[in-house]
Amino acid sequence: MWTRESLHELAAGELRDYHFVVVSNREPYIHSHALGTIHCDMPPSGLTAALDPVMRACGGTWVAHGSGNADRETVDANDRVGVPPEDPRYTIRRVWLSKEEEDGYYYGVSNDALWPLCHIAYTRPTFNDDEWKVYRAVNERFARAVLQEVGGGQAFVFVQDYHLTLLPRILREANPNLVVAQFWHIPWPNREAFRVCPWQNEILEGLLGNHLLGFHIRYHCNNFLETVDRSIEARVDYDRYEVIRGGKKTEVKPFPISIDFEEVSARAREPGVEAEMERLRKSLELDDWIIGMGLDRIDYTKGIPDRLRAIDRFLERNPEYRGRLVFIQTGVPSRVHVPAYRRINDEIDTLIEETNWKYETGHWRPIIDLRGPLSPLTVMALRRLSHFAIVSSLHDGMNLVAKEFVASSVDEDKVLILSEFTGAARELTDALLVNPYAADEVAEAIKAAVEMPLEERQRRMRRMRAVVQENNVYKWAADIVAKMVKIGSGG
Ligand code: GDG
């Protein structure tokens, strides 16, 4: 079983002669002004949740966009700052972007073109050539920062996600001593879906700068190989999962991401959680109701309206649960500068209002809307209070919310309703797997969840906990680091 310690040993031994550099759009720690002082926070994101423990174990440098309003005041003359602030274990090197650059590269190409392109959620991508020029320039800016950090020496560079598709090629051409890997946190769609992208060849050539390209599941690897095979001049080896282009090899492999199971379980058991549960019971007037929860970054891929429609359908079909079951929807709004995200927030508002209006009696209403930033303690107390959770993504690379719910279920007495279109569904086969587009099917799963006998709830949850405990984030990181080391040594 991989642990923070064994990963640390691996990193200290194998990465001894190398500099380890992570590159991502989002920084793991943001400095901002609040109430007259400077705060340092970890923004909620799957990526940060997964990589911060890894960086603490490996040390090194994390290159990222400095987006906090106190970020410039907290770096040194070389734009560097040590984190975590109370006990610095690694360095953030901040890259600065203007509002126009953020608009074209982050909101435009990354989240209004590539995100909808890769998620089959029936939201149309927008392709704008001016934004693409900005995206290209920003990728070059990140490349310059990485090359400065590593100098001419040997280094492992681990790039994150779809914001930086052009970076690997620039790095590999500029410094042959680098081993470059990239992890793609979202799905890779089939070739038919990808071919509408006007910049497809440049993106593929950029990604083939990597020595190693990782996806969550084999299905996404297959989609990528097929896309390359049918789009550009390259030799694709389907048996070895490799692409050779211009004499350079890219290995394409699955690495299912995960969470720090032990830490989440330990946090679920902290004494403060029970007090917070009590506070929530009182302030939300929860009585002895059956509680379901959803926790998501507000995104149209997460299927939040679909889940709310399923709650409506459930109450319509099972009137005996009116006044007895409540669903708490939480989560933070994100990417609100992109029109599709504003629309999804409005749609959720309307659905919650209509459903509550339809069924509410006395102080009971079926849906409690807790959107907005919540403290980790409150999120944990909500998980512990819940009898079931719904993760209803229309398409999701992995989905860490599902794994966090499993790790928090220390009473082994909760049910997970999980979309079959998440990467997590491949591992969490003891969840109640559903098609989120089918409201009746999800409504039936809610009924099955609340009526499931205790023994079956425990049996399913124990098995899922064992899976997440074994396939934890340290295993994800160790597998990638070990593979990078093997590539670095010519293997
Ligand atoms: C991408 C891929 C892949 C969410 N709302 C709040 C909050 N969160 C935390 C969750 C979880 C994280 O954010 C979300 O992670 P997910 O994996 O569920 O989703 P994405 O952000 O879309 O992540 C995804 C992931 O990358 C990693 O590769 O799994 O498929 O889309 O940790 O707990 N945390 C707090 N308040 C919130 O309101 N405190």
Helix, strand or coil, per DSSP, at residue 78:
coil
Is residue 407 within 6 Å of ligand 1 at its C-beta? no
Q: Is the pLDDT of residue 336 over 90?
A: no
Q: Is the pLDDT of residue 425 over 90?
A: yes
What CA–CA distance (Å, rounded) separates 64 from 125? 25
* Residue 331 alpha carbon, nearest atom of ligand 1: 38
Q: Following DSSP, what letter does each residue of 360-375 receive, concatenated?
A: -BTTB-SEEEEEB---
Distance separating the N- and C-terminal Cα atoms of the chain: 25
- When pLDDT is averaged across residues 244-254 and rounded to a whole number, the result is 96
pLDDT tens digits for range 100-159: 999 999 999 999 999 999 999 999 999 999 999 999 999 999 999 999 999 888 899 999
Is residue 330 within 6 Å of ligand 1 at its C-beta? yes
pLDDT at site 121: 96
For 178, 237, 289, 323, 433, the CA distances from 383, given in Å and listed in that order, are: 43, 44, 15, 21, 19
| Calculated CA dihedral for residues 172, 173, 177, 181, nearest 10 degrees | 0
pLDDT at site 331: 87
For 205, 209, 224, 397, the CA distances from 228, given in Å and listed in that order, are: 9, 13, 6, 20
Structure pTM?
0.96
For 171, 252, 426, 471, the CA distances from 208, given in Å and listed in that order, are: 11, 10, 27, 28
Radius of gyration of the chain (CA): 23
Q: Which residue's C-alpha comes closest to atom 15 of ligand 1?
A: 46
- Decide: 472 and 5 in contact? Cβ < 8 Å: no
What kind and span of H or E run contains 105?
Answer: none
Is residue 186 within 6 Å of ligand 1 at its C-beta? yes
Q: Is the pLDDT of residue 349 over 70?
A: yes
- The full set of domains in the chain, from first to last, is 4-258+473-488 (3.40.50.2000), 262-470 (3.40.50.2000)
pLDDT at site 401: 96
Distance of CA 51 from the midpoint of ligand 1 (Å): 12
- Decide: 214 and 254 in contact? Cβ < 8 Å: yes
Is residue 398 within 6 Å of ligand 1 at its C-beta? yes
pLDDT at site 213: 98
Distance of CA 116 from the midpoint of ligand 1 (Å): 17
pLDDT tens digits for range 172-223: 999 999 999 999 999 999 999 999 999 999 999 999 999 999 999 999 999 9
pLDDT tens digits for range 34-91: 989 999 988 766 667 667 767 887 789 999 999 999 999 999 999 999 999 999 999 9
- Decide: 194 and 224 in contact? Cβ < 8 Å: no
Distance of CA 298 from the midpoint of ligand 1 (Å): 10
- Decide: 358 and 311 in contact? Cβ < 8 Å: no
* Burial call 291-306: b when 16+ CB within 10 Å, e when fewer: bbbbbbbbbbbbbbbb
Is residue 331 within 6 Å of ligand 1 at its C-beta? yes
* Residue 295 alpha carbon, nearest atom of ligand 1: 5
pLDDT at site 49: 64
Least confident of 7-16, 358-367, 384-393, 421-430: 7-16
Q: Which residue's C-alpha comes closest to atom 27 of ligand 1?
A: 46
pLDDT at site 44: 64
* N residues, the chain: 491
* Residue 374 alpha carbon, nearest atom of ligand 1: 36
State which of 394, 398, 400 you would mutate to test the pocket of ligand 1, scoring each by most atoms of that ligand within 8 A of its C-beta.
400
Q: Is the pLDDT of residue 161 over 70?
A: yes
pLDDT at site 50: 67
Is the model more confident about 387 or about 60? 387
pLDDT tens digits for range 446-490: 999 999 999 999 999 999 999 999 999 999 999 999 999 999 988
